[in-house]
Every structure is written in structure tokens, then in C-alpha cells.
Structure 1
Amino acid sequence: MELQFLGTGAGQPSKQRNVSSVALKLLDELNEIWLFDVGEATQHQILRTNIKLRKVTKIFISHNHGDHIFGLPGLLSTRSFQGDVGPITIYGPSGIEEFVRTALKVSRTKISYSIRFVELAKSGLICEDKGFRVYTEQLDHRIPSFGFRVVEASHPGELLIDKLAQYNVPNGPLLGKLKNGEKVTLADGTVLDGKNFLGPTKPGRIVTVIYDTRSTPSIARLAKDADVLVHESTFAGDEQKLAHDYYHSTSVEAAKIARKDNVKLLCLNHISARYMGAKGKKLEKQAKKVFSNTVLVNDFDQINIPMKGSEK
């Protein structure tokens, strides 16, 4: 599991930061990639990565402001040229389907695959797929805006080979069944229960993505115990009133959420153009005083999210 940031700026593109998009790479787990928001020129950003559009199967849209959705029609069109691609599902607020279908219709763009839309209207579970669940909560922005929490199912413990050694279990299907927690019968009639030869269950990973919002209690429900919290940081910590007036958050507000809700890593994202270059470090420095494990992300940064218990 890995995050790659395709656009980390707020409002408008700049030479340093494109507008919002982040990819959750689930290649080892599902052989899929999920996108969270698709700002203008996201497909151009993808050209500078190893991401293949045919691997993109789900797109989650936080809200319908242009810097979060203007890249959708072009990306969907280009995906049609990637060979035999499968269907795609777009989750987003009311109006996102109308936007996409109107853009494709007016431009007479033909899509070679089916697009399914899931309208976000209330909090709760919105997606359950092959061991992953995605939850949403409504945030506090000028228009309906949603945050996302991706939860991976727990993984069975590792097979305790040393504990099995005395039974001389041959390599092959029997070991596979034991690893799955099943019962097997050996050639001498001995019955082994795989559950007795597995290490502790490994809890799944949690990734939370919070785009445009004021500070609001619903963020905590999404961020609780997250391995990675990607949180908007449009304004500096000493600009709380300005952030509130514009329905955004500060770096310090993001850090307080991370500290209070037992987050492992905070990624500051959605950075205002006023914080170009070295000025962006101001946001990171302020947040680190509250929550030390904070990083200010840049376009194309990659964050590996190891299995719990295997962190190096």
C-alpha cells in the first residue's frame, strides 16, 4: 500500500504544485489504484509517474470545486486509449455525474468502458471491496464536501513453522490449509488445527483523506487511529480566523487532530500559493510543535504504508 501525491496545491496550479489529486496504490493487495480528487491536469501529472490509468478502478471526489474535478473528463477520455480497461466507479457529491456526462456529451467524447456513479449524501460505509471498506463523513465547507477513511481488513497471523517442525508436514497443500487456519489430517492420522499454528492476527491499515473543510467533529471519526492522515493545510497556524472565514483549515488544526486521534503520520496537503518554496516549511514547523510526525508533502512524493508489525 502506497500513497502518491499528484497535486498538492490549493485553488490554482503553480510551477511547484498542481491542484488536488492523490493516488492510493493497492497494487500488491488488489492490483488496483484509487484516486482521491482529480484536479486540472492530473493526467499530465500521472505521465510523470509509473501509474497506469487502466489500473485506476475507483475515484473518490470530495467536493465539486473546480480545482478538485476539472481533470476528470480528460482523464476518463484518455483511459479509453489504454487498451481493454474495465469499468470505473466514481463516488462524489450530487452534481458530479451531471458534470462528467455533460463534459463528455458536449465534447462528443466516447468512453470505451462503463462508468458507475455513487452519490454521496450521508455519512457511513460507501464501498466494500475485497477486504477494504471506505467510509465517508460530511465536512464543513462552502459547498457539500466529504472526507474519506479507507480501512483494510485484518490479516491472519504468520504460520509458525518452528512450532510445526515436530510434525514433519510436507511442503504443499497441507501447509497452505494450515496457513488458512483449516484442519488437516496427516498420513499417520494426526489431526492439526491451523488456528493453533498461527501467530497473532495483524490489524489492517487505515488511510484518511481530508480535503477542503473547517475544523469539525466529523474529522475525528475519519481520522481515529489512522496510519496516515492526509489533511488540508491551506493556511498557517496563526491564520485560524482567515481559515475559518474561507472554510478551510490550518496546519496547527490538522496537527491537533493527529495528536488527539492517535494518528501515526500526518501529511499536510492542499497548500496555498502564498506558501511557495521555503515558506511552506512554516506550515510544517508549526504543525510539528503540536504533532512531531508531520510531513509537508510535495507533488510526486510517495508514502509507503507498511503492514502493521513490519515497520522498519
Structure 2
Amino acid sequence: MQITFLGTSSGVPTRSRNVSSIALRLPQRAELWLFDCGEGTQHQFLRSELKVSQLSRIFITHMHGDHIFGLMGLLATCGLAGNANRIDIYGPPELEDYLKSCTRYSQTHFSYPVKVHRVKPGIIYEDEEYIVRCGPLKHRVPAFGYRIEEKDRPGRFYVEKAQALGIPPGPIYGKLKNGEIVTLPDGRQINGSALCGKPEIGRKLVYCTDTVLCEGAIELSTGADVLIHEATFSHLDADMAFQRLHSTSTMAAQVALAAGVKTLLMTHFSPRYAPGNDIVLEDLLKEARAIFPHTKMAYDFMSYEIPRNQELVVAS
């Protein structure tokens, strides 16, 4: 699971930061998931090493322009390139109407299936490897955060142990590898977990923007390996953050601390903290680290590989 930031500015782009978009690359299945799609996202793809042909799912947090204005352009490009098979899009109820209006008035016709899913709190997607949940945040319009959970993987199956017990190869090995208890033809019962190493715990990624400090963000983020959280304002501009229902750097750090996450990646920075101003982005990083030391500040095209835990401790 590799994260690439395609846009880390809030509201409007700057010379060095585009508006919100984050890609999650799943190399083992040659898939790419996108979170938010601000204006110019398709240009950011061209400047990165990501392949738009691998794009399969897009998750939209809310309907503000700096999170959706690049969506139609990107979808149209995928169609013109002729390399998209199907794209599933998840977001607030208004998202489907927005896309229908855009396609109607621009006379855009997609050459591949596009399915829009209206999200509500809870599980919104699940397959054999991943679960995606969403939860409500607190912003000026309905907004959702997303939690991506990689399912736990069985530990290594020790074939030599099975052979030493006289267990013949075949479908039974698959059951044992999954930790099942299997009865052999001779009546012996074998616990598959005894023939496997400890399972690998799945990684957990949470994406929260736009929001002011709220319980919903903490609940969604609980126990995450990585929390991507907006930090639009400095702590010194907290009044402005509360008025606009955005987060300060210290609010993002408080969520990370309360939720017990391992790493906080801050994004969605106001252009007001450009170099040369009284407060700069490095000040926001210091503010956050004073509360949550394991904080990093994202920048456009920054990539971050979510580390895999060593082992899952299984209760006896």
C-alpha cells in the first residue's frame, strides 16, 4: 500500500501545491484508488509515475470544488485514452447528480462503465483483501472520512510439518493454511494454525478532510497505521478554523493522539503560510509534533509506503 500525494493545498492551488487528491497504489493487484480529485489532478498524474490505466475506484469526501473539479476531466481522459475497464466512484448523494449534469451539458460520453455509489456511514466496499468504511466529519457541507483496512493474512504454511505428520498434499492443505481444524481419514484432527506461522495483521489507512476537530474523525481513525488529516490552519489561527470548520495543525495532532495512530501525515494547507510570511508551514509542523511527534508534512508527489506490521499476536 503506497500513498502518493497529488495535491496538498487547500482552496486554491499554488505554484508548488495543487488542490486535494491522493492516490493509493495497490501493486499486488495493479490497481489504483483515488481519494478526492481537485482541479488539475489529471495533470498531476502526468507529472507522476502513476498509471491512470490502473485507476479503478475514486472516493470523494464532499462536494466542494477543490475536491471535485478535476473529476470530469480525469474521467473523460480515461475514456479518450481507451484504457479504462470500469471505474467505481463513491461519495455524497449529490455526486451522482453533479456528474449527470456535467456529462449532459458537456456532451461527454464515457466509453467504459462508470458506477456512482452513494455512501453512508459504515462499510461501503469489501472484497477478499480490503474493507472500506466511511464516517461523518464536521464541515460546512456533508463530508465523509474514509478508512481502508487490509484484511489479516494467514501466516506461512509449513509444508514440511504437514508432510512429517503424514498429511497428503491436496485441497486439505488449503484448509490447513486458513487455520481450519481438519479431520483426516484416519480420524486424527489437525489444527491448521499449528502448522502456520503467526498471521500478518492488515494495514489501516484513514483519510480525513475537510473537518474541524470532531469525535467522528477520532472514531474512524482508531488504531490506524497512517492517518492523513487536513491541517489547513496554524494553531494561532484557531478562531478562523472554527469559523470555517477546518482543522489546525494541533487539531490534527489531537485526533492522531486520541485515536492511537502510528503516523500522522498532514495535508490541505492554506496558502497563507507561504515562505516569507509571519507563519510558515514549518511552524505548523512544530505545533503538531509538540502534541504528536510522529507527524510528517505532505507535499505534492510525496510517496509513503505504509509499513507492514511484523506479526499479529493471536490470543491463546
TM norm structure 1: 0.90
What is the letter of the counterpart of residue 198 of structure 1?
C
State whether structure 2 residue 14 is matched by structure 1 residue 18. Answer: no
Which residue pairs with 2:303 in the alignment? 302
Whether contact under 8 Å (1:235, 1:249) holds in the other structure is: yes
The equivalences for 1:55-204 within 5 A come to 55-120=54-119, 122-160=120-158, 166=164, 178-181=176-179, 193-204=191-202
Alpha-carbon separation, structure 1, partners of 2:17 and 2:160: 51
1:166: Cα distance to partner?
4.9
- Give the SS at the match of 2:138: coil
Whether contact under 8 Å (1:155, 1:202) holds in the other structure is: yes
- Give the SS at the match of 1:254: helix
Which residue pairs with 2:281 in the alignment? 280
**Structure 1 unmatched runs, 5+:** none
1:134: Cα distance to partner?
1.2
What is the letter of the counterpart of residue 78 of structure 2?
R
Deviations along 1:72-99, one digit per CA (max 9) or x if unpaired, are: 0000001113334221111111221122
- Give the SS at the match of 1:68: helix
Which residue pairs with 1:216 in the alignment? 214
Which residue pairs with 1:43 in the alignment? 42
Which aligned segments of 4 or more residues in structure 1 are displaced greater than 3 angstroms? 160-186, 188-194
What is the letter of the counterpart of residue 23 of structure 1?
A
State whether structure 2 residue 287 is matched by structure 1 residue 289. Answer: no
TM norm structure 2: 0.89
Alpha-carbon separation, structure 1, partners of 2:129 and 2:34: 18
Alpha-carbon separation, structure 1, partners of 2:178 and 2:260: 31
> Percent identity at matched positions?
40
Alpha-carbon spacing, 1:220–1:160, altered in 2? closer, same or farther (3 Å):
same
Alpha-carbon spacing, 1:176–1:50, altered in 2? closer, same or farther (3 Å):
farther
Alpha-carbon separation, structure 2, partners of 1:92 and 1:275: 30
What is the letter of the counterpart of residue 309 of structure 1?
Q
Deviates more, 1:277-286 or 1:109-118: 277-286
Alpha-carbon spacing, 1:84–1:45, altered in 2? closer, same or farther (3 Å):
closer
The equivalences for 1:234-245 within 5 A come to 234-245=232-243
Equivalenced residue count is 307
1:175: Cα distance to partner?
6.4
Deviates more, 1:103-112 or 1:266-275: 103-112
Alpha-carbon separation, structure 2, partners of 1:175 and 1:124: 35
1:224: Cα distance to partner?
0.2
Whether contact under 8 Å (1:53, 1:82) holds in the other structure is: no
Deviates more, 1:297-306 or 1:176-185: 176-185
What is the letter of the counterpart of residue 223 of structure 1?
S
- Give the SS at the match of 2:260: coil
Alpha-carbon separation, structure 2, partners of 1:84 and 1:275: 40
Alpha-carbon separation, structure 1, partners of 2:156 and 2:275: 45
1:140: Cα distance to partner?
1.0
1:105: Cα distance to partner?
2.0
Alpha-carbon spacing, 1:197–1:230, altered in 2? closer, same or farther (3 Å):
same
Alpha-carbon separation, structure 2, partners of 1:3 and 1:168: 45
What is the letter of the counterpart of residue 24 of structure 1?
L
Alpha-carbon spacing, 1:172–1:281, altered in 2? closer, same or farther (3 Å):
farther
1:184: Cα distance to partner?
9.5
Whether contact under 8 Å (1:178, 1:184) holds in the other structure is: no
Deviations along 1:225-274, one digit per CA (max 9) or x if unpaired, are: 00000000000122221100111000111101111211010000001001
What CA RMSD, in Å, does the superposition of the two structures yield over aligned residues? 2.5
Alpha-carbon separation, structure 2, partners of 1:184 and 1:50: 50
1:49: Cα distance to partner?
1.6
Deviations along 1:152-211, one digit per CA (max 9) or x if unpaired, are: 11111123467568569899988666544465979x999865332112222211100001
1:131: Cα distance to partner?
2.3
State whether structure 2 residue 9 is matched by structure 1 residue 9. Answer: yes
- Give the SS at the match of 2:235: coil
- Give the SS at the match of 2:146: strand
Alpha-carbon separation, structure 1, partners of 2:170 and 2:284: 54
Whether contact under 8 Å (1:58, 1:88) holds in the other structure is: yes
Alpha-carbon separation, structure 1, partners of 2:274 and 2:168: 61
Whether contact under 8 Å (1:258, 1:266) holds in the other structure is: yes
State whether structure 2 residue 262 is matched by structure 1 residue 264. Answer: yes
Alpha-carbon separation, structure 1, partners of 2:207 and 2:188: 50
Deviates more, 1:169-178 or 1:192-201: 169-178
Deviations along 1:17-63, one digit per CA (max 9) or x if unpaired, are: 000000111121x3311111000000000111222222111111111
